[in-house]
Amino acid sequence: MDLRVRALETVLTEKGYIDPAALDVLIDTYQTKIGPRNGARVVAKAWADPTFHDWLLKDATAAIASLGYTGRQGEHMVAVANTDDEHHMVVCTLCSCYPWPVLGLPPTWYKSAPYRSRAVKEPRGVLAEFGVELPASTRIRVWDSTAEVRYLVIPQRPDGTDGLSEEQLADLVTRDSMIGTGLARKPGAAP
Ligand code: FE
């Protein structure tokens, strides 16, 4: 794969279709600037600020953009909030659609055929494999991402976090908790 990518890059550069410096900027952006820390800041702000929480649920694209997180694969965002009664989980059954500006690039398992099929057929079983056991009374809703719409799960705010700053709250928000295959960490729990 490495060789194939390098060969393609060489041919495209020689033909003048791409600029290697621009490619380096793109790669650096996704390696160092864009990732789940962005989404964690969005969730922390929603936990701390009820007005922002409402805005996020009504117009996630605009609310997220107000924090500076915009760009490809994040043009049409929908945020869904977990509660005691309802747990949201995101999949792309067709391929690997994922909200890049807030979560970065998708993990390998998200792109795998077993996750994509089993998330819709037996979400509770998949969650258990991720170590998430929900009460039987909690309804699980699975959202299928598309090329148009990308989802961000707002996990439930853990107990014992009343005095924490937004920055401290963001540290509790894991990538998986924003896909719905995990929960937010409790304060003091190991990262
Ligand atoms: Fe997809």
Q: Tell me whether residue 145 is one of the annotated catalytic residues.
A: no
How many angstroms separate the alpha carbon of residue 148 from the centre of ligand 1?
9
Query: What is the CATH number for 49?
Result: 3.90.330.10
What gap in Å lies between CA 182 and CA 159, rounded to an integer?
16
Q: Tell me whether residue 92 is one of the annotated catalytic residues.
A: yes
pLDDT classification of 179: cutoffs 50, 70, 90: very high
Token match 């864009």: residue? 34
State pTM to two decimals: 0.89
Q: Do 93 and 6 belong together in one domain?
A: no
Q: What is the pLDDT of residues 20-63, one digit of tens each?
A: 899 888 888 887 888 999 999 999 999 999 999 999 999 999 99
Angle (CA) 143-149-153 rounded to 5° is 50
Q: Tell me whether residue 96 is one of the annotated catalytic residues.
A: yes
**Structural domain that includes position 168:** 35-179
How many angstroms separate the alpha carbon of residue 116 from the centre of ligand 1?
10
Q: Is residue 190 part of a domain?
A: no
How many angstroms separate the alpha carbon of residue 145 from the centre of ligand 1?
6
How many angstroms separate the alpha carbon of residue 108 from the centre of ligand 1?
13
Q: Do 7 and 72 belong together in one domain?
A: no
Q: Tell me whether residue 95 is one of the annotated catalytic residues.
A: yes
Q: Do 117 and 93 belong together in one domain?
A: yes
Instruction: State how many domains the chain has.
Output: 2
How many angstroms separate the alpha carbon of residue 144 from the centre of ligand 1?
9
Tell me what pLDDT residue 42 has: 98
Taken in order 36, 100, 102, 179, is the CA torsion positive or negative? negative
Does the pLDDT of residue 191 top 70, yes or no? Answer: no
Look up residue 33 and give its DSSP letter. Answer: I
Closest C-alpha among 120, 110, 122, 126 to residue 175? 110
Q: What is the pLDDT of residues 94-148, one digit of tens each?
A: 999 999 999 999 999 999 999 999 999 999 999 999 999 999 999 999 999 998 8
Average pLDDT over every residue of 180-191: 88
Catalytic residue among 95, 112, 117, 165: 95
Q: Do 82 and 94 belong together in one domain?
A: yes
Tell me what pLDDT residue 34 has: 87
